[in-house]
Amino acid sequence: MTPRAPGSYLLTGPVDWQELTTGLTDLRLEQDPGEEPTSFRLLDSHDQSLRAKGAVLLEYDDRMHLLQAGGESLSQPSGPGHFPGELPEGPVRAVTEALFPLRCFLTLVEGRMCRRSLRVVDDEGKTQLRLEEIGLETAAGRLSLVTLRPLRGYDRAPALIASALAAAGAGPLSGAAVLTTLAPDLVPYVAKPDIAIAGGDSAFDVAVRTISAYLAVARANEPGVIEDLDSEFLHDYRVALRKIRSALSLFKEVFGQVQTEEMKVAFSALMAPTGRLRDLDVYLMEREAYMSRVPEALRPGLDVMFDAFAKERRSAHAALAKHLKSRAYQGRISALVTGFDHPEGFVRGEAGTEAASGLARRLIWKRYRKICKIAAGIGADTPDDEVHELRIACKKFRYLIEFFAPLFPAKSVRKLIKAMKALQDNLGNFNDYSVQQAALGSLVASGRLPTGPRGLEAAQSIGALIAVLHQEQIRERARVMETFAAFDSASTRALVARLCQHREARA
Amino acid sequence: MRVIACYSNKGGVGKTATAVNLAYACAEAGLRTLLCDLDPQGASSFYFRVKPSKKLKDAAFFEDVDRFTRAIRASDFDNLDILPANLSFREFDVFLSRMKNSRSRLKKALRAVDGDYDVILLDCPPNISALSEAVFKAADQVVVPVIPTTLSERTFEQLLEFFADNGLKMGKLSPFFSMVQARKSLHGETMARLRGAHPEMFLAAELPFSTDVERMGVFREPVACFAAARPAARAFRALFEELQTGA
C-alpha cells in the first residue's frame, strides 16, 4: 500500500507549467513564490562514479543532495573535507564512501539554481500531489528537474502530471543527461577505455590504438597528480603507462626492433620518477593494516616510521609535480602523443601486418605453455626467483588476455580470468611481502629515521613488522603449488586451447 | 501500535475536534498516525478536506482488506493518514476485533508507508450502545470529553456503570473536561465534584470553550495550524502530552 515510487523527471530548459497542467480539469496547480536563486556545485569523483550510476550530487545551501536514478534523493550536511569519508555521518556519505573511498569530490560544474514547491489541489483545497522543481543553469545550458511526491490514496494527479511531463519531452533523471546539458564540453574520464578490435585489424593497428588510448588516460591524470587531489590520479597514471609498456613487450614483433626499444626506454623514463611517491601512498594507505600486525606496545614505533613516510611523501610529491610541469616532460609526452597520432612514421616489425586475432592466439598459447613449464619445475624447495618468474609470466598472460578480450567471447574471458585469480592473488601477495620486507630493511639502513631513542623505538617496531611479513610470505609461498594445481585443470587447459584454436581443441 | 478511541455517549461535546487535534498532535510529535473516521457524518474527514469514500459503504467491505487499505488517504500533514470509513454499525465490531488481532489480514495490511502505525485514533460514532463494548475492548485508551454540566455528569456516570457492569478495565478511561467556561460557577463546581468523586481519573488538561474550535470548520485545519498560540491549541497539546506520559 505504498505510493508509487516518487519519480524525477528531467527537462531541458524551463518548465511550462501552464502547458503541463491543461489536462487537470477539476484539479488545479498552486505554486509557492519560489526561493531566491542560489549557487550550486555538481560534484563527482574524477572517474565519475556517480554519473555512471545515473546519480547527480549537488551541493547547495551547505548541504549535499544526492539525486538517485530511481527518484529517491538523499540529503545531509556538507563538511569541510574533500573525501567521502570526511563528510559528517549521513546517507550521502554512506553511498559515496562505498562507491569511491579513495577518491576526492571534484566540482564538475558550477552554476545558479532556483527551487520551488508546487501542489496539485482539488476543489476543496486538499493536496493531491506535491511537486518540487529545481532549475539548474550554467553558461552552457539550463535544465529543470521535477520531482513528484505522491500522497497515499491519490493516484490520479501523479498519473496526469507524469504523462504531461512525458509528453513535454521529460526523461528520467540521469547523471549523463544533466552533464550533457550543463557541461557539454566535459569529457568523461575512463580509466580502462574499450579498445575496439575487429577480426581483420592488423596487430600494428591494435597496438597503436591501445597505446594511443592509454596515453590519453595518463595525460588526463596529470593535473590531479600535480594538485595532489587524491592518490588515485597517480595510480591511474602509472597503470596507464604500465599498460603501454606491457603492450610494447607483448607486441614486440609488431614494431621494428629498434623502434620498440626506443619506445620502451621513453615510457620507462616517464614511469621512473613516479615510483617512490606511489610506494609511499600505499604505505600510508595501509597504515592501519600494518599497525594491527604488531603488538600494541610496538605501535608508537611504527608511528615514527609513518611520520617519516608522510614527510618524505611531501617532498616526493613536490618533486614529481615540478617534474610533470617541466618543459622537458611536457615536450617528451607531447612528442609521444604526436607520434601515435601519426603512426605511419613508425617502423613496422615482422608481425606488424599479421592479423591481430592470429597474433593474439599465437601469443596466448605460447604464454600459457610457458606458465605451465615454469610451474612444473616448482616444488617446495625451488628458489624464490623461479616463483617470481611464474608471477611475471602469469601477469603477462593476464595482460594478453585483457588486451585481446574484445576478440573473444566475453564469457570465456571472464571464466579464464576468474580461474587465474586465486593463483595471481597468491603470487602477488608473495611478491608484496617480499618487496615490503626489503623496503623496510633498507629504510632502517638508510638513516632516514630520526636518531636517538625514537629512532631505536622505530627500528624495533619495524623489525617486528619484518618478522610478521616474513611469516606471511612463507605462508603464501607454501600455497603456490596448491593454487597452481587448482588453475592447471583440464577444463582451463581446454578453455585456453579453444580460445587459441589450438589443435588440442580440435582433436 | 496504540489504539486511542475518542468516544462520547453524548453528542456535541467536542469529540470530533478532539480526535482531529489529537491526531495532528501525534503526527507533529513524529508518530505515524492513522485517524479512522468511523462517524457516519464524516466530520473528521471534512476537517482534513478528505472526501468521504462511497465505496466503503459496501457491506462486503471488510472481506476485502486490499480495498480497505486502498481507501487510506494521506492528509496534507506528514505522518498523518486518514481512513474515511463511514462504517455502518454492523461492521464496526468486526473492524475493531480484527484490528487488534495480530494474525488478521487487516492488522497486517494496516500499515503506514514506512512501517506500522504508532497510533491509530478512532473517531467513534455516537450512540453505539450495542457496540460500545467492542470499542472499549479494542482501545488501549478511551478518551472521553465531558462538559462540566449536570447533564454530562449523568451521562458520564452511566458510562462508568457500563464499564463496571461489563467487567471492563476502568484504567482505560481518560476523561477530560471539555468546553470549559471559567466564568460559570456551575462548571467550576461540577469539575471539583467529579475530580473529588473519581480521584486520578480525569486528565489535568482542560479544553476551554473556544471559538477557535468552531472556526476549524472555516479553515478546515486543526486548531494548531491557524491559532497555535491560543488557549484551545495549547490545551490539545497538553492533552496529547498527558496521554503520552500516561500511556
pLDDT tens-digit readout, A440-494 = 998 888 888 888 888 889 999 999 999 999 999 999 999 998 999 888 888 888 8
Confidence label for A5 from pLDDT (cuts 50, 70 and 90)? very low
Q: What sign for the dihedral angle of Cα A322, A328, A333, A338?
A: positive
Say yes or no: A370 and A299 in one domain: no
- Write out the residue range of the structural domain in which residue A506 sits: 355-507
Q: Which amino acid is at A240?
A: A
Residue A191 lies in a domain: no
Q: Are residues A136 and A15 in the same domain?
A: yes
**Spatial contact of A163 and A149, defined as CB atoms under 8 Å apart:** no
Residue B220 and residue A124: Cβ atoms within 8 Å? yes
Mutation site for A-interface testing, chosen from B46, B75, B114 by largest number of A Cβ within 10 Å: B75
What is the residue-level pLDDT of chain B in tens, covering all 247 positions?
888 999 988 888 899 999 999 999 999 999 999 998 887 777 889 999 998 766 555 545 555 667 677 888 999 999 999 988 766 555 666 776 777 676 766 666 677 666 778 999 988 877 655 566 777 887 889 999 999 999 889 999 988 998 898 888 999 999 999 999 989 999 999 999 999 999 889 999 999 999 999 899 889 999 999 999 999 999 999 999 999 886 5
The answer to whether residue A188 is domain-embedded is no
Q: Is A126 on the interface with B (CB under 8 A)?
A: yes
CB-nearest to A124 from B49, B70, B73 is B49
User: In this structure, are A359 and A347 located in the same domain?
Assistant: no
A87 in a domain, yes or no?
yes
Nearest to A100 by CA among A219, A235, A265, A223: A235
Q: Which three cell numbers stand for residue A441?
A: 630493511
Pair (A36, A88) in one structural domain: yes
Cα distances (angstroms) measured from residue A433 to each of A176, A438, A439:
42, 9, 10
A117, A126, A127, A154: best to mutate for the B interface, most B CBs within 10 A? A126
The residue out of A123, A154, A182 marking a domain boundary is: A182
The Cα angle at residue A370 between residues A364 and A372, in degrees rounded to 5: 105
User: Of A351, A366, A401, which residue sits at a domain end?
Assistant: A351
- Assess if residue A83 is contained within a domain: yes
Q: Work out the angle at residue B54's Cα, subtended by the Cα atoms of residues B51 and B55, and round it to the nearest 5 degrees.
A: 125
| A6 part of contact set with chain B, CB < 8 Å | no
Instruction: Kindly state the average pLDDT of the residues A287-310.
Output: 92
Q: Which residues contact A56 (CB under 8 A, 6 or more apart)?
A: A42, A50, A66, A67, A173, A175, A178
Residues of A in contact with B113 (CB under 8 A): 1-3, 152
Q: According to the model, what pLDDT value does residue A489 have?
A: 87
CA A210/CA A254 separation, integer angstroms? 13
**DSSP 8-state assignment for residue B247:** -
Residue A123 in contact with partner chain B when CB distance is under 8 A: no
Phi first, then psi: what are they for B190, rounded to 5°? -60, -40
Task: Tell me whether residue A189 is in a domain.
Answer: no
Question: Given an 8 Å threshold on Cβ–Cβ distance, is B49 in contact with A126?
Answer: yes
Q: Assess B184–A contact: CB distance below 8 Å, yes or no.
A: no
Helix (H) / strand (E) containing B2: strand B2-6
Confidence of residue A226 (pLDDT cuts 50, 70, 90): very high
C-alpha cell at A159: 498519473
- Cβ–Cβ gap A153/B220 under 8 Å: no
Nearest to A403 by CA among A198, A260, A247, A237: A247
B chain contacts of residue A6, beta-carbon cutoff 8 Å = none
Show the cell assigned to A163.
Answer: 504523462
Q: Which residue of A has its CA nearest to B49?
A: A126
Which residue in the set B49, B51, B74 is minimally distant from A152, CB to CB?
B74
Contacts of B56 in chain A (CB under 8 A): none
Residues linked to residue A142 through DSSP beta bridges, in sequence order = A137
Chain B residues whose CB is inside 8 A of the A154 CB are: 73-74
> Which pLDDT does position A269 carry in this prediction?
94
Instruction: Confirm or reject contact between B220 and chain A (CB < 8 A).
Output: yes
Percentage of chain A lying above the pLDDT 70 cut: 97
Banded pLDDT at A2 (limits 50, 70, 90): very low
For A185-189, the CB contacts below 8 A with 24+ separation are A185/A140, A186/A108, A186/A109, A187/A220, A188/A48, A188/A51, A189/A46, A189/A47, A189/A48, A189/A220
How does pLDDT run across A191-200, given as a tens digit for each residue? 888 888 887 8
CA distance B110 to chain A (A): 9
Q: Has residue A4 got a pLDDT over 50?
A: no
**Residues A326-345, mean pLDDT to the nearest whole number:** 93
Query: Same domain for A362 and A413?
Result: yes
**DSSP result, A185-203:** TPPPP-SS------TT-BH
Q: In what order do the strands lie in the sheet with B2-6?
A: B73-74, B80-84, B33-37, B119-123, B2-6, B141-146, B173-180, B206-208
Is the Cβ–Cβ distance between A458 and A449 less than 8 Å?
Answer: yes
Q: Does A490 touch chain B (CB under 8 A)?
A: no
Burial of A26 (0-12, 13-18, 19+ CB in 10 A): exposed
- State phi, psi for A58 to the nearest 5 degrees: -115, 140
Question: Which chain A residue lies closest to B218 (C-alpha atoms)?
Answer: A124
Q: Which of B49, B111, B220 sits opposite A1 (nearest CB)?
A: B111
- CA dist A377 and A385 (Å) reads 12
Q: Where are the domains of chain B?
A: 2-246
| Contact list, B48 vs chain A (CB under 8 Å) | 126
- CB-closest option in A124, A127, A153 to B72: A153
CB A267 within 8 A of CB A245: yes
Q: Average per-residue pLDDT in chain A?
A: 90
CB atoms A153 and B76 under 8 Å: no
Q: State yes or no: ipTM above 0.85.
A: no
pLDDT, tens digit (0-9, with 9 covering 90-100), for A13-35: 889 898 888 888 889 999 888 78
**Smallest Cα–Cα separation from A347: which of A264, A257, A247, A215?**
A257
Partners of residue B49 in chain A, C-beta under 8 Å: 122, 124-126
Strand A63-67 vs strand A56-60: parallel, antiparallel, or unpaired? Answer: antiparallel
CATH pick for B2-246 out of 3.10.560.10, 3.40.50.300, 3.30.9.10, 3.40.50.150: 3.40.50.300
- Whether residues A246 and A346 share a domain: the answer is yes
Q: Do A153 and B74 touch (CB under 8 A)?
A: yes
If you measure CA to CA, which chain A residue comes closest to B219? A125
Which of A131, A153, A182 marks a domain boundary?
Answer: A182
Amino acid found at B78: D
Shortest Cα–Cα distance, A73 to chain B (Å): 16
Closest Cα partner for A195 from A167, A218, A214?
A214
**Are A381 and A458 part of one and the same domain?**
yes
Name the grid cell of A282: 600505499
- Residue A126: list chain B partners with CB under 8 A: 48-51, 76
Q: In terms of CA atoms, which chain B residue is nearest residue A3?
A: B113
Position of cell 559528517?
A88
Nearest neighbour of B72 by CB, restricted to A1, A122, A126? A1
Are A338 and A421 members of one domain? Answer: no
Q: How far is A61 from chain B (nearest CA, A)?
A: 23
**A154 interface with B at CB cutoff 8 Å:** yes
Examine the domain organization and report whether A383 and A269 are in the same domain: no
Instruction: Determine the residue of chain A that is closest to B65 in CA distance.
Output: A1
CB–CB contact A125 B51 (8 Å)? no
Q: Give the up-direction half-sphere exposure of residue B65: CA atoms within 13 A in the CB hemisphere.
A: 12
Contact B73 A152 (CB under 8 A): yes
Q: Which three cell numbers stand for residue B223?
A: 486548531
Cα–Cα distance for residue pair A133/A128, rounded to 1 Å: 17
Does A76 lie at the interface with B, CB-CB under 8 angstroms? Answer: no
Average pLDDT, integer, range A307-330: 95
Q: What is the dihedral of CA B18, B23, B25, B26, to 10 degrees?
A: 140
Instruction: Tell if the CB–CB gap between A153 and B73 is shorter than 8 Å.
Output: yes
For chain A, what is the total number of helices (H) and then of strands (E)?
A: 18, 10
Shared-domain flag, residues A12 and A113: yes
Structural domain includes residue A295: yes
Note whether A17 and A164 are within 8 A (CB). Answer: no
What are the chain A neighbours of B81 within 8 Å (beta carbons)? 152-153
* Cβ-proximal residues to B188 (8 Å cutoff; 6+ apart), any chain: B148, B182
**Residues in A touching B220 (Cβ below 8 Å):** 124-125
The CA distance from B235 to the nearest CA of chain A, in Å, is 26
Rounded to an integer, the average pLDDT of A194-215 is: 87
Same domain? For A327 and A369 the reply is no
Identify the CATH number of the domain in which residue A293 sits. Answer: 1.40.20.10
Q: Which residues of chain A have a CB within 8 Å of the CB of B70?
A: 1, 153
Angle (deg, nearest 10), helices A231-250 and A257-271:
170
Question: To probe the interface with A, which of B45, B73, B225 has the most A CB atoms within 10 Å?
Answer: B73
Q: Quick one: pLDDT at residue A507?
A: 45
As for how many domains chain A has, the answer is 3
List of chain B residues whose C-beta atoms are within 8 Å of the C-beta of residue A4: none
Q: Say whether both A423 and A454 belong to one domain.
A: yes
Contact (Cβ atoms closer than 8 angstroms) between residue A95 and residue A45: no
